[in-house]
Amino acid sequence: MLALVVVFACNPVALAASGATDGYDGPARPRVIISTDFPPLDVIPGKGCSGPPERCSDPDDVQSMVRFLLYTNELEVEGLVASAATFANVAKKQNILDVLDVYDRVDENVRRHDARNPTADMLRSITWQGRSGAWGTPDFGVTAKPLDELLGEGKGSEASNAIIEVVDRPDPRPVWVCVWGGSREVAQAIWKVQATRSSAELERFLGKLRIYLIARQDGTAQWLLDSFPSLLVILSKKNYQGMFWNMQGSDPALADLAWVSANIRQGHGPLGAVYPRSGFDSSAPGVVEGDTPSYLHLVSAVRGLNDPDKPDQGGWGGQFVRPDSSGNHWFDDPAGPKTVYRWRREVQKEFVDRADWMLP
């Protein structure tokens, strides 16, 4: 992949630090779509939640989104997808638009450090609605919906159609779809291409796609794995837990509530202030960010630490193995969450530096 080899030769962070950002004409950035079961900003942690179902969910998507918005200078963001969310099982792009309204209050500050950071208006223009009701698999103690209720004729959405348009663009770079919730939207996009195009056209389409799944959160994940052996799919079943502040073996002092309050939530403007104090379990506050490894896999590639098309190399997004060399599906390395938390010091240091970008 020529574009990525060139990316390795340049560190955009160094460029930003030097002030060499206006008119930047450096290497191409990884293209990325974020698909998230994003809750409302007043989300109530789901464990033991007795509030309105639409507010009972997992705040970790908000945590991951705050960090992601501070890395958009290094990633070419092609879309933000609202997928079905836990409990209420509702896909609501307004929830994403709400956090972009907060980003709008700091984006000028952030852009002073690197003009490649997108405006809030640009991100709003590529925020797409998925379909409600898809969430749930036995992995999360919920029965998965039958596949024919998730995929097929008449089940397209603004999001699934937009994904097709993005992949079809005449750009040689692959499109990484980072799936924080259910994979229905990207799966429906593939289903439509399979149903309406030739086998050769389908293979070309799949060749432009890369999918990083955070667990299997709806029934389409297994369909992707069973149906498309050549499609590059990374499935993080446990590795992502290396982001959890209290993961055994990690250094909790770099991600507990005291750390995140001092470095992100307090004194860092309105976007830092919406960073939730906990994930699903309010009694264990701190950094959870189970979805963040999906894009850190690309961020560390920009730094030259790994080739994202070779997940066995390891990087900030974890390390993976390919049990069947005839396919292109990757699963957790036996070292598990350690492959993520081993980078915690470097990852958190950058988060601190970028949080300061939000300040006037």
d(CA 55, CA 247): 26
Cα–Cα distance between 279 and 61 in angstroms, integer? 9
Domain boundaries, the chain: 30-357
Count other C-beta atoms under 10 Å from residue 207's C-beta.
13
Question: Residue 235 in contact with residue 178, Cβ under 8 Å?
Answer: no
* pLDDT tens, residue by residue, 234-280: 999 999 999 999 999 999 999 999 999 999 999 999 999 999 999 99
Give the pLDDT mean for 166-194. Answer: 98
Cα separation, 25 vs 11, in Å, equals 13
pLDDT band at residue 139 under the 50/70/90 scheme: confident
Mean pLDDT over 331-338 rounds to: 98
Least confident of 88-92, 163-167, 229-233: 88-92
Tens digit of each residue's pLDDT (9 = 90 or more) over 315-326: 999 999 999 999
CATH entry, 30-357, from 3.10.20.740, 3.30.390.50, 3.90.245.10, 3.50.50.60? 3.90.245.10
